[in-house]
Chains A and B, each alone.
Chain A
Amino acid sequence: MFTKKILLIIIFIAIIARFIKLDWAPPHLSNDEIGAAYAAYSISKTLKDGTNQFLPILWQSHGGYGSPSAVYIPLTSIMIFGNNDFAVRLPSAILGSLTIIFIGLLTAELTKNARLALAASFLLAISPWHFSASRWALESNYALFFIVLGIYLFFFGLNKNKPWVTIVSLVSFALSIYSYYTEWVLTPLIILSLIIFYRATVFKKKIYYFAILLFGVLLIPLFTSFIQNLNSSRASSEFISKDIVVRRLLVKHPKSIEKGQIILKAILDKYSSYNNLDYLFFYGAKILPKENPYQFGFFLTPFVMGFIWGLYKLKNHYGRSSNFVYFLLIVSPLSASLTGGEINNWRSLPQLLPVALITASGTLYIWDFVKKNIWIKSLGVGLLLISFMYFFLVYFRHFPLQKAVGYQYGYKQIALFVDQHYDEFEKIIIDPRFGDRNYYYIGVPSSYIPFYTYLDPVKVQNARYLPNGIAFDKYEFREIDWVSEKVERNYLYAVPYDFILNPKYNLKLVYEIKLPNWQQAFKLYTLAN
C-alpha cells in the first residue's frame, strides 16, 4: 500500500513537471512546431492557413504536408492563451499526461492487475522520451495518445460488452491517423491484429462491422486530401528508397530483383536500429548532442533488466493478451523503418507503448522475486533515483544550453524586439540563415515573426515571392548580399551574429540576441545617422 502511494505521488509529480517551464525546455519552438502554430493562428483568425487554403485537412508545412491534428489540436489553446510557447505546447502536455493515465487503465484492462497498471503508468511518467515528447507540440505524441486510448477502449468495450465504447475506440484510431504519418501504417495493423486475436468475439457482433465501416468513412476526407496533394506529400519523399545511400545503390543496380534486395536490406537495417536495447535504454531520447555521453533512452537505463525479463515472462502477467503485446512490439517501429534518413525518435514514439507494457511486467516480476532481499531492492531504487536525477538535471539545465541552436533560437527574440519597435522601421529584412559561418542552416523566420508579433494573417496569405525569399507587410525574408543590397535609412537588418558587414555602409548595432549559453546568435543593424 505504501509503495502504491509513493508511485502515485511520483506519477502525479511527473505529470505536473510536464507543464512547468514549457517556454524554457525545449528552449524555443522548433521548425515543425512553429509551422503548425502559425497555421493554427492563421486558421483561428481567417479560417485559412498561411497559404490561403480554407480549413485545410493536410496543410502545407515547411517541405511537405503536415497532419491535421498538428494544427487543429493546438488551435483552441492558442485562441485562449495567445501566441506563445505555452499555448502551443499545452495540448501535448495534456495529452501526454492523459496517455500516462490511459496506459495504466489499458494494463488494468488487459491483466486485471492494479499493481502492474500502476507500474506501467509510473514507467511512462518517468520515461525520458515521453517526458520530452509531452513538452513538445509533437504530432506523434498526439497520435500515441489516440492509439493508447483506442486500444484501451477496444478492450473496455470487449470486456464490458459496451457497443458505444467500441465505436469511440475506432474513432480514436481514426484520429491517430489524422495525427501523424507513422500511424497510417501502424493503426490499420493494430486494428487488424485486434480483429484477428479477438476474432471469436469480433466476428459475432455487428457493432464491430459498423465501427470498422465508420473508421473507413472517417478516413475518406484525409485520403482525398492526400491524393490531391500526392506530388508533394511526405510519404513519397521520405520512403527509404529516397535515402541518399540507398538511392546511390539503386542507381548502381537497376535490376528489379536487386532493387528489391537493396530496399529489403535497408528496411531491415533500419528496423534493427529501432529495435535495439542501446536505442531504447541508452540514447534514443536524443536530448543532448550525440557525442555527449550523458544520454537517455526511451526509458531510464536501470529498466533494461525489466524489459529483458518482461520479454521472457510476459505471459505470466498478460496471459493470452501477451501475443498482442508482442505483436505491438514487432510492428511499432515498422513505419519508422520504412523511411530514410537518420533514425528518428518522433517516428518511433509508438514503441513507448509495447516497451512500457513489457518493462512494467518484467520490473514487477523482478521486484516480487527479490522481495526478501532489501539490499537488491535498495540498489535498484537507488540506481533509479540517480538516473532520474541525472535526467532532470540534463533536461532542465543542459538541454536548453546545448541544443538551442537546433531550435532556431533567436527568432522569437527578434520577433519580440521588432514588435516593440515596429513603427521605427520602414522595412525589416531578416536573413533566414542561422548558426555560424562554418555552416549556416536555413531557418523559417517567416513563420516565427508573424506568429509572435500577431501579424494579420491576411498579410501573410498575400505574401510576395522574391527571387531569393518571401515578403509580406514590411518584412522581407531573404539572404542578404551586401554587394547588391541597397541599404536605406530606417531599414532593420537581422543577420547571424558572425555575418560580415559591408564596410561601405555605416551600420549600427541596435540589438543583439544571445543563446541560453550566452553565445551570440543574431545581430540587428540599422544605418547609423
Chain B
Amino acid sequence: MVIATLFLSFILNIINHGHILIGILNTILLFFSIYFYFKFSQQKLSFIKSPDLNSPLIILIGAIPLFTRVNDILIIFIAIGICLLTLLYLTTRFKKISILIIATYILFVSFYANGIIKLPFAFQTHLLIFNDDWTNLYITQMKTESQYMPNIIRSLIFNPAVHFYVLLSKIAGLFTLKNLYDALLIANIYPLVKGLTLDLKNWNKSKTLLIFGILLISLSMVVSRSEKINNTFLLLSPFLIYFILRGLNSINKTIYLALFIMSIVIAIGP
C-alpha cells in the first residue's frame, strides 16, 4: 500500500506540473516521512501491507498537496535532510550528539527555507523580524505617548522584547486551519488531530522529539518577515505525516472519505 501511496503521489505530481525531477523528489520526501513514522513507532516498514497500518486509506495520503506541488528543489532536499537526521537519531546510540546535530541543522537550513539566507551565503538582515520598521516605529511611539512615566520605566515597558511576542503570535498563526488544509487537505486534519490526541494519551519521553522538532522549525521559520508557509510545512512534513498515520487507524472511515471528497471538490475549484 505504501507503494500505491507513493505511486499516486508521483502521478499527481506529473499531472499537476509535469516536472519529473520535482515529482521524484517530492515522492522521496513522502517516502522518508512515511518511513519516519514506521521507525518512530517501532514498526517494520512493509511496502505491500503493514500489520499495524492496514487501512487502505493510507493510499489517499499520496494526494496530499504538500507533496504534489512545484516545491523548491533545495527545500525538498533540506526536508529530506531533516527526515534522514531524525532517522539517524532513532537508530544511533549517541542521542545527545544527534539531537545537537538536528538542532543545528534545523536552525541553519531554516534560514535558507525562510529566505533569510540566499544561496550561496547572502544574509538578508532586512528580512529579520527584528528589523521590522513598523514594530520599531511603534515601540518609539508608545514610549513617546508614555512620557508621564519616568524614562527608565518607559524603556522597561516598551522595548524590543516585543519582537518575541510577535514571534509567538506568528507561530500561533502558522497552524491555522487554512494553512493546514492547504498543505494537507481538509480530510487529513482529522487523522492529524486524532494522532495528536492518541499520542497525548500515551505520552512518553521519546515523543518529546516530535514537539521539539515542530517548535524548533516553527520558531526558526517565523524569524523571517516574509512568511513561507509552504516551506515551513515541507520541513515539518515528517512530523505531520507521523501524526496523520498515527491517527489513521482510529478514524471513522466514512467521515474521512466524505471529508476527502469535500477536500477534492474544493481543491479542484477555481
Q: Chain A: residues with CB nearer than 8 A to chain B?
A: 249, 252-253, 258, 261-262, 264-265, 268-269, 271-273, 275-278, 281-283, 291-295, 301, 304, 312, 390, 393, 397-398, 401-402, 517
In the complex the two chains form, is B197's CB within 8 Å of A261's CB? no
* Known A261-B265, A281-B172, A293-B165; 14 more pairs at CB < 8 Å: A252-B270, A258-B270, A271-B177, A272-B177, A272-B179, A277-B173, A278-B172, A282-B168, A282-B172, A282-B173, A292-B134, A312-B197, A397-B146, A398-B146
Interface 1/0 per residue, B148-171 and A, CB below 8 Å: 000000000110001101101110
CB-CB under 8 A from A294, the residues of chain B are 138, 142, 158, 162
B175 within 8 A of A: yes
A293 near B166 (CB under 8 angstroms)? yes
Of B134, B145, B157, which is within 8 A of A291 by CB? B134
With A304-B172, A393-B157 as given contacts, are A268 and B266 in contact (CB-CB < 8 Å)?
A: yes
If A277-B172, A293-B135, A393-B157 touch, whether A261 touches B269 (CB-CB below 8 Å) is: yes
Q: Which residues of A contact B176 (CB under 8 A)?
A: 272-273, 275-276, 278
Cross-chain contact B270 with A261 (CB below 8 angstroms): yes
> In the assembled complex, which residues on chain B have CB atoms less than 8 Å from the CB atom of A292?
134, 138, 142
| Cross-chain contact A301 with B134 (CB below 8 angstroms) | no
Q: How far is the CA of A393 from the CA of B177 in the complex (A)?
A: 33
Please, could you name 20 A-B residue pairs with CB atoms under 8 Å apart, sorted by A? A262-B269, A262-B270, A264-B266, A268-B178, A268-B186, A272-B179, A273-B176, A275-B176, A277-B172, A278-B169, A278-B173, A291-B138, A292-B134, A293-B162, A293-B166, A294-B158, A312-B200, A390-B157, A397-B146, A402-B145
Chain A residue at minimum C-beta to C-beta distance from B262 = A264
Bound together, the chains give a CA A376 to CA B104 distance in angstroms of: 29
A249 in complex: contacting residue of B138, B146, B169, B270, CB < 8 Å: B270
Chain A proximity mask over B253-270: 1 for CB below 8 Å, otherwise 0: 000000000000110111
Interface centre among B166, B197, B268 (most CB of A within 10 A): B166
Contact B177 A258 (CB under 8 A): no
In this complex, how many residues of chain B approach chain A with their Cβ under 8 Å: the count is: 33
Complex alpha-carbon distance, A264 and B181, angstroms: 13
Which of B138, B146, B269 contacts A265, CB < 8 Å? B269
Contacts of B269 in A (CB 8 A): 258, 261-262, 264-265
In the complex formed, the residue of A with least CB distance to B160 is A293
Chain A residue contacts of B170, Cβ below 8 A? 278
Question: Which residue of chain B has its CB nearest to the CB of A304?
Answer: B172
Q: Which A residue sits closest to B266, measured CB to CB?
A: A265
Residues in A neighbouring B173, C-beta threshold 8 A: 276-278, 282
- Asked, given contacts A262-B269, A277-B172, A397-B146, whether A301 binds B177 with beta carbons under 8 Å apart, the answer is no
Give CA–CA (A273, B177) in the complex, Å. 8
Q: Which residues of A contact B172 (CB under 8 A)?
A: 276-278, 281-282, 304
**Candidates B138, B162, B178; contact of A273 at CB < 8 Å:** B178
| Residues from chain B with Cβ under 8 Å of A271 in the complex | 177
A398 touches B145 (CB 8 A): yes
Q: Which residues of B contact A (CB under 8 A)?
A: 134-135, 138-139, 141-142, 145-146, 157-158, 162-163, 165-166, 168-170, 172-173, 175-179, 181, 186, 197, 200, 265-266, 268-270
Q: How close is A193's CB to chain B, nearest CB, in angstroms? A: 18
Contacts of A390 in B (CB 8 A): 157
Q: Tell me if B145 and A397 are in contact (CB < 8 A).
A: yes
- What is the chain B residue whose CB lies nearest that of A269? B178
Q: Which residues of B contact A295 (CB under 8 A)?
A: 169
A277→B186 CA distance, assembly (Å) = 18
Inter-chain CA distance A272–B178, complex, in Å, is: 5
Minimum distance in angstroms from A72 CB to a CB of chain B: 38
User: Which A residue's beta carbon lies closest to that of B180?
Assistant: A272
Per the bound structure, the CA–CA distance linking A43 and B176 in Å amounts to 46
Q: List, in ascending order, chain B residues with CB within 8 A of A281's CB.
A: 172
Q: With the chains together, A281 CA to B165 CA distance in Å?
A: 11
Collect the chain B residues with CB atoms within 8 Å of residue A275's CB. Answer: 176-177
CA distance in complex: A304, B168 (Å): 11
CA distance A102 to B240 in the complex (A): 40
| B145: contacting residue among A268, A293, A401, CB under 8 A | A401
Nearest to B270 among chain A residues (CB) is: A253
* Residue of chain A at shortest CB distance from B165: A293
Nearest B residue (CB) for A261: B269
A24 to B: closest C-beta gap in Å: 14
Contact A517 B168 (CB under 8 A): no
Chain B residues with Cβ below 8 Å from A291 are 134-135, 138
Set of chain B residues within 8 Å of A301, measured between Cβ atoms = 165, 168
A397 to B265, CA, bound (A): 49
B136 to chain A, nearest CB (A): 9
A506 to B138 CA separation, bound complex (whole angstroms): 41
Chain B residues within an 8 Å CB radius of A402? 141, 145
Instruction: Pick from A264, A272, A281, A293 the residue with the most CB of B within 10 Å.
Output: A293
CB pair A283–B178 under 8 Å, yes or no, is no
List of A residues within 8 angstroms of B158 by Cβ? 294
Minimum distance in angstroms from B72 CB to a CB of chain A: 24
Pick from A264, A277, A295, A312 the residue with the most CB of B within 10 Å.
A277
Residues of A with C-beta under 8 A to B134: 291-293
B163 touches A293 (CB 8 A): yes
Nearest-neighbour CB distance to chain A for B194, whole angstroms, equals: 12
Q: From B162, which residue of chain A is reached at the shortest CB distance?
A: A293
| Distance A330 CA – B145 CA, assembled complex (angstroms) | 40
A490 vs B186: C-alpha distance in the bound complex, in angstroms?
A: 67
CA distance A252 to B269 in the complex (A): 12
CB distance from B182 to the nearest CB of A (A): 9
Shortest CB–CB separation between residue A16 and chain B, in angstroms?
A: 23
Chain A residues near B265: list those with CB within 8 A.
261, 264
Q: Which of B169, B170, B268 has the most CB of A within 10 A?
A: B169
Contact between A398 and B270 (Cβ–Cβ < 8 Å)? Answer: no
A281 nearest in chain B by CB position: B172
A2 to B106, CA, bound (A): 46
**CB pair A398 B169 closer than 8 Å:** no
Q: How far is the CA of A402 from the CA of B178 in the complex (A)?
A: 31
User: Please, how many angstroms separate the alpha-carbon atoms of A517 and B265 in the complex?
Assistant: 52
Complex CA–CA separation, A140 to B135 (angstroms) = 31
Task: Kindly provide the distance from the CB of B174 to the nearest chain A CB, expressed in whole angstroms.
Answer: 8
Nearest residue (CB) in B for A517 is: B145
User: Known contacts A258-B269, A293-B165, A294-B162: does B145 contact A276 (CB below 8 Å)?
Assistant: no
Asked whether A268 and B181 contact (CB < 8 A) given A258-B269, A278-B173, the answer is yes
Residue of B with least CB distance to A282: B169
B138 with A293: CB separation less than 8 A: yes
CB distance from B220 to the nearest CB of A (A): 18
